Structure 1
Amino acid sequence: MATLGEVSFYTRRIIKWGIIVVLTVMITPIVWRVAKQIYLRLLPPPPPPPTIRYGKLPTLSFELPTIAYKPQIKLETKTNTLPVLNKIGKVYFVETSKSRILALDKARIKARSLGFSAEPKRESDRIYKFIHPADPSTLTVDLISDKIKYEFDWTNNSEIYTANFTLSRDQIVSESRNFFQNLGLLPSDIPDTNSKITYLSANPPKLTPSIAASEANFAKVDLYRQNRDNLPFVTSGDYSPINITLGSGKFQARKIVSANYNYSKIIETEFATYPLKTTKEAWDELVAGGGIITKTAGSQVVVREISLAYYEPDEPQRFVQPVFVFVGDGGFTALVQAIAPEYIDLSQPK
Structure 2
Amino acid sequence: MLTLSQATSLTKRIAKWSAIIALSIILLIIFVRVGKTLKEIIAPTPPPPPTVSFGKLPAIEFPNNSFPQKITYTIDTVTGALPKLPDRANVFKMGEPNPDLLALKKAEQKVTGEGFSQPAIRISGNTYQWTDSKSPILRKLNIDIFTLDFTVSSSFLSNQAVTLGTNLPNPDNAKGVAQSFLSNMSFLYEDLNLEKTKTNLLSIKNSNLQPATSISTAQIIEVDFFQKDVDKMPILYSKNNSSTMNIFVGGGENQAQVVKSEFFHQTISSQSSTYPIKTASDAFLQLRRGEAYILSSQKDEDVSVRNIYLGYFMANKKQDFLMPIIVLEGDNGFVAYVSAVKDEWINK
Name the TM tier (shorter chain). 0.7 to 0.9
Change (3 A) 1:295 1:43: farther
SS at match of 1:271: strand
CA distance in 2, matches of 1:172, 1:323: 31
CA distance in 2, matches of 1:85, 1:93: 23
Where does residue 73 of structure 1 map in the other structure?
A: 72
Residue 242 (structure 1) aligned with residue 252 (structure 2): no
Paired letter, 2:243: S
CA contact (8 A) 2:67 2:294 kept: no
1:257 to 256, 259, 269: 259
Change (3 A) 1:65 1:42: same
Where does residue 90 of structure 1 map in the other structure?
A: 90
1:147 to 149, 158, 174: 149
CA distance in 2, matches of 1:125, 1:166: 36
Deviation at 1:82, TM superposition (A): 2.4
Change (3 A) 1:164 1:82: farther
Q: 1:162-311 counterparts in 2 under 5 A? A: 162-163=164-165, 166-238=168-240, 239-248=242-251, 251-252=254-255, 255-268=257-270, 270-298=271-299, 300-302=301-303, 303-311=305-313
Residue 129 (structure 1) aligned with residue 129 (structure 2): yes
Paired letter, 1:247: G
Deviation at 1:162, TM superposition (A): 1.4
Deviation at 1:313, TM superposition (A): 0.6
Change (3 A) 1:288 1:89: same
CA distance in 2, matches of 1:287, 1:158: 49
Question: 5+ unaligned residues in a row in structure 2: which ranges?
Answer: 1-25
CA contact (8 A) 1:57 1:344 kept: yes
Where does residue 344 of structure 2 map in the other structure?
A: 342
Paired letter, 1:240: S
Structure 1, residues 180-203: CA drift from partner, whole Å, max 9, x if none? 111111121212211111122222
CA contact (8 A) 2:67 2:298 kept: no
Change (3 A) 1:69 1:251: farther
> TM-score of the superposition, structure 1-length normalised?
0.80
CA contact (8 A) 2:201 2:212 kept: yes
**Larger deviation: 168-177 or 223-232?**
168-177
Structure 1, residues 144-169: CA drift from partner, whole Å, max 9, x if none? 42211112221121222212665344
Deviation at 1:60, TM superposition (A): 0.8
CA distance in 1, matches of 2:168, 2:42: 56
Deviation at 1:334, TM superposition (A): 1.4
State the 4+ residue runs in structure 1 displaced beyond 4 angstroms: 32-45
**CA RMSD of superposed structures (Å):** 3.1
Structure 1, residues 107-155: CA drift from partner, whole Å, max 9, x if none? 2223322322333332321222223335422111123422111122211
Change (3 A) 1:249 1:37: farther
Paired letter, 2:244: P
CA distance in 2, matches of 1:41, 1:138: 64
Identity %: 28
CA contact (8 A) 1:152 1:256 kept: no
Deviation at 1:276, TM superposition (A): 0.3
CA distance in 1, matches of 2:83, 2:250: 43
Change (3 A) 1:67 1:159: closer
Change (3 A) 1:249 1:194: farther
**Larger deviation: 309-318 or 47-56?**
47-56
CA contact (8 A) 1:145 1:316 kept: no
Structure 1, residues 83-126: CA drift from partner, whole Å, max 9, x if none? 22121000011111141522222222233223223333323212
SS at match of 1:185: coil
Deviation at 1:212, TM superposition (A): 1.6
Paired letter, 2:343: P
CA contact (8 A) 1:297 1:329 kept: no
Deviation at 1:173, TM superposition (A): 2.4
SS at match of 2:195: coil
Where does residue 314 of structure 1 map in the other structure?
A: 316
Structure 1, residues 306-346: CA drift from partner, whole Å, max 9, x if none? 21100101111111000111212221211111111111112
CA distance in 1, matches of 2:297, 2:346: 27
